[in-house]
Structure 1
Amino acid sequence: MKKFLKIAVVVAIAISFGFTIYPIDGYERTGIKRLYQIQKFVDDSVPYNRIPSGAYKRLEDIKLNLTSVDDSLDKILVEDKDFANRIRRVLPSGNYSTAVLDMTNPDNLQYAEHRENVGYQPGSVGKIAVLNAVFYQLAKICPDSWEDRVMYLKDIKVSSRYWGTGDHHTIPIYDIEKDKLVKRQVIASDVFSLYEWLDHMVSVSNNGAASVMYREAMLMAAFGADYVNLNEEQAETYFKETSRDSLTNLANTVVNEPLRELGITENEWKLGGMFTRPAGRYVGRKGGSIGTPKGLMKYLVLLEQGKVIDENSSLEMKRLLYLTDRRIRYAKSPRLDDAAVYFKSGSFYKCDREKDPNCAAYAGNVFNYMNSVIIVEHDNGVKYIVCLMTNVLNKNSAGAHMYLASKLDDIITKDNTKPEVKEVPYKDDEDTGNEAEG
């Protein structure tokens, strides 16, 4: 109740000054319907405990933090020994890798890294590469008009077809007229705008939505300016009549080449292919996926500088990463409740249940990848980036990341007044991760 009262006060102040909070701005700008429901809860003073107070920023409050810093990555990502020592003290031994940048003071950035070049299976963190590919291609289609790009994201609607099926993750579907929210898996007949598919891909990490938007990025690259008038039949004809090798090469190029142009190498971050099996009907995979804390940190620093594609694109992608759905894993740390977080997580684990019948989610005994990339912004001005990647067997890594989030936040905020953090069992019935088959 206390948190709701705090939110209500913030909302009341915003309204009294003629402002609207982020969900209202978000719906009007993007047409993402789930945001309209949150707005309605706030307007009707209905308690909404699914998200903490830090998730109620206004659209205009979301800004890039490093536009004043024109230094290259080589100059920015230089380790501060004292800061690095403090970070390393809280990191467990074993397969933990991280990169941390305190950007509270852009004129005095502090950076730390630990096993930063070790490669991990990035899981759903790779969806950021799809997000980037879509904005990269839109910039080619509309090089002179940011407004047109936003218009197409909102107005172009595409169907799932087989591409979006086969994922157990559900998506929120809100009917504004009936004021009814349904959560279910993507089906072939689903039709959403590009903005809504991107939101399903990022906010609830739906693999089907990721394959749909991966498909759309490929079509943008293949058809160029004609993409905006493309219909479903023409799109499917293209996939049927183009050789599998050509499509596989295009799929690989469309997501990875923009990363190379940013100076992120193949060993630092690459995406191997689609996120759902049905999408493999025409498009194959090309190598595996890999991510490193250093590669992901490079991307987020460039994003904060406004150098990913252009400043408008960087800001809009950051807005899409702003978490206004429930928080999980690293972002679920209570230390971050009052902070704005821009977050993507990826879990991929495998259990040999002959070896251990009780092997559970996030605690694989064959492999157990857990990855968190996050930008944290506290109201007191403390701002930082963390890229944490782990592969620790037989340990609930979702809980481990949540615990480390609190420890790292205490170090960066230099707040010694809060009770000591203790690692507690992680439980979230809606968050099941991705278990490998076989």
Structure 2
Amino acid sequence: MKKIVLILLISFVCASFTVFNHYPIDGYERTGIKRLKRLEMIKSGEIKDGTLLPAGAYKGYMDIQLNLISKKSDSIGTFFQKNENFQNVISGLFKGLDRSYSLAILDISDPDNLRYASRNETLGYQPGSVGKLAVLIALFNELQKIYPDDFEKRLDVLRNRSVKAGLWGLTDEHTVPIFNIETKKLVKRQVIASDVFTVFEWADHMMSVSNNGAASIVWREALLMSVFGKDYATLTQEAADAYFKNTPKAEITNLANDVVNLPLRKIGIGPDEWRLGSFFTRGSNNYVGSKGGSIGSPLGLMKFLVQLEQGNVVDEASSLEMKRLMYMTDRRIRYAQAPILK
């Protein structure tokens, strides 16, 4: 059967549900993300668990690849030429519905025969948790600036640097999975100020369960990378605290805004297409303010997704690692469900 690959964004089509997807199941050795070790143990039978993993959950780390590498040098505008037949089909789905339904969809099943369609793709909305992707981009952008020629060193920082939540992680209703490898026990609870995880695990908490506290912490770490550069890897808690205590809040706010938004501008996403203006938790307000507001659009996100598949977001290695983190999804909420997604 012909494999169908779609890049799809639908704004404000909200249907709450819980579905389990675990990608990539063999990622523990590379990332140190402990919840993935639990999945390996379930797969091997070492842990007896009633969770039924869907077929897609057995994808390995190397199974996740970028699909538009062959078009790496193509300009972003070439991907958005509407296919008339495809557009008619998509438009027919929304006939008579409110104009607020917005989407951009690109069929990349055949990279040499792309099909694009859209509806109100430039309309802006409150991006919500989609904004966490901008934080992910900021993280990998700052790592690239510190180690431009050594991706393994970037991974070492993600794997080996552990950081404390502090007030930045408070408060959020989304729980995070905490797996003890020795006892093989899994606990899901809200983040508390004393929690310590590696940067990779915080990024996974941000992506896999959409934890707001984790998003603020990852953004904080990207900010600290920008400030301390190569010294970030050995940065002490005391030095980080001193920076936030002694630096004017307006200065921190401006830098935080640049850290998360300038990488979007670098890949051709305009400020009215996608921007992030505030952190995700109230606890962060003690250290950094809001600036410029937040907005997102189907076109802005589509520009990111296409360039991710091209390997052009930060660089090719970063694009692939970000895509793998996007596949490490434990459960998603607020997105429409279709059987084919299972």
Q: TM-score normalised to the size of structure 2?
A: 0.90
Equivalent pair of 1:51/1:325 in contact (CA under 8 Å): no
1:265-276 matches, cutoff 5 A: 265-276=270-281
After TM superposition, the structure 1 stretch with the greater mean CA deviation from structure 2, 323-332 or 232-241, is 323-332
Q: How do 1:138-153 residues align onto structure 2 when only pairs under 5 Å count?
A: 138-153=143-158
* Distance in 2 of aligned mates of 1:277 and 1:37: 32
CA distance in 1 between counterparts of 2:49 and 2:117 reads 40
List aligned pairs for 1:120-199, cutoff 5 A.
Answer: 120-199=125-204
Contact 2:171-2:282 at 8 Å conserved across structures: yes
Q: 1:94 to 1:51 in 2, by over 3 A?
A: farther
Aligned to 1:113: 118
What does residue 90 of structure 2 align with?
87
The whole-number CA distance in structure 1 between the counterparts of 2:219 and 2:334 is 25
SS at 2:27 equivalent: helix
Query: RMSD in angstroms over aligned alpha carbons?
Result: 1.5
- Rounded to whole Å, the distance in 1 between the matches of 2:29 and 2:166 is 27
Task: Trace 1:329-348 onto structure 2 (pairs within 5 A).
Answer: 329-330=334-335, 332-337=337-342
Q: Deviations over 1:291-327 (max 9, x none)?
A: 0000000000000000001100000000000044134
Deviation at 1:51, TM superposition (A): 4.3
Report what 2:58 is aligned to: 56
Aligned residues of 1:127 and 1:201 also touching (Cα < 8 A): yes
Cα deviation for residue 125 of structure 1 reads 0.4
Q: Does 1:233 align with 2:238?
A: yes
Partner of 1:244: 249
SS in structure 1 at match of 2:271: coil
Q: How does 1:5-24 map to 2 (within 5 A)?
A: 23-24=24-25
**2: CA distance between counterparts of 1:62 and 1:23?**
8
Larger radius of gyration: 1
- 5+ residue gaps, structure 2, are 1-21
Does residue 293 of the first structure (1) align with residue 298 of the second (2)? yes
Is contact 2:26-2:40 (8 Å) kept?
A: no
Corresponding residue of 2:4? none
| TM-aligned CA distance change 1:122 to 1:51, over 3 Å | farther
Deviation of 1:143 after TM superposition, in Å, equals 0.8
Q: Distance in 2 between matches of 1:333 and 1:215?
A: 35
Which consecutive unaligned segments of at least 5 residues does structure 1 have? 1-20, 338-438
Q: Distance in 1 between matches of 2:330 and 2:50?
A: 11
The SS at the match of 1:25 is coil
Do the aligned partners of residues 107 and 122 (structure 1) sit closer, same or farther apart at CA in structure 2, a change above 3 Å counting? same
Q: How far did 1:79 drift?
A: 1.0
Residue by residue, what CA displacement relative to the aligned partner does 1:323-377 show, whole Å, maximum 9, x if unpaired?
441344436422211xxxxxxxxxxxxxxxxxxxxxxxxxxxxxxxxxxxxxxxx
Instruction: Assess, with a 3 A threshold, how the Cα gap between structure 1 residues 330 and 53 changes in structure 2: closer, same or farther.
Output: farther
Contact 2:24–2:324, Cα closer than 8 Å, also in 1? no
Provide the residue aligned with 2:12 in structure 1: none
Whole-Å separation in 1 of the counterparts to 2:234 and 2:177: 28
What is the percent sequence identity of the aligned residues?
56
Question: Once the 2 structures are TM-superposed, how far is the Cα of residue 49 of structure 1 from its aligned partner?
Answer: 3.3
Within the alignment, does 1:99 sit opposite 2:104 as a pair?
yes
- In 2, the alpha carbon distance for the partners of 1:77 and 1:48 equals 44
What is the one-letter code of the residue matched to 2:45?
D
User: 1:276-315, aligned counterparts within 5 Å?
Assistant: 276-315=281-320
Cα contact 1:41–1:48 (8 A) shared by 2: no
Could you say which residue in structure 2 is the equivalent of 1:419? none
Match runs of 1:319-358 below 5 Å:
319-330=324-335, 332-337=337-342
Which residue type is aligned with residue 330 of structure 1?
Y
What is the 5 A alignment of 1:387-398? none
Asked if the contact 1:167/1:276 (under 8 Å) is kept, the reply is yes
Query: Residue 23 of structure 2 contacts residue 328 of structure 2 at CA under 8 Å; is this kept in 1?
Result: no
- Contact 2:23–2:327 (CA<8 Å) still a contact in 1? no
| 1:120/1:50 CA distance change after superposition, 3 Å | farther
Structure 1 CA distance, aligned partners of 2:179 and 2:173?
A: 19
TM-score (norm. length: structure 1): 0.70
2:74 is matched with: 71
Contact 1:136 1:309 in 2 (8 A): yes
Cα deviation, residue 144, structure 1:
1.0
SS in 1 for 2:242: helix
Summarize deviations over 1:193-245 as a string: whole Å, max 9, x none. 00000000000000000011110010000111111110111001001110011
Matched with 1:204 is: 209
Q: Distance in 2 between matches of 1:127 and 1:22?
A: 18
Q: Cα 1:26–1:82, aligned 2, differ >3 Å: closer, same or farther?
A: same
Cα offset, 1:22, TM superposition: 5.8
Q: Find the residue that maps to 2:67 and give its secondary structure.
A: coil
2:191–2:213 contact (8 Å) kept in structure 1: yes
Per-residue deviation, 1:23: 4.7
- How far is the alpha carbon of 1:94 from its aligned partner? 3.1
CA distance in 2, matches of 1:259, 1:110: 24
Number of equivalences: 317
Corresponding residue to 1:222 among 212, 219, 227: 227
Q: Secondary structure in 2 aligned to 1:120?
A: coil
Distance 1:328 1:190 in 2: 24
Partner SS state of residue 245, structure 1: helix
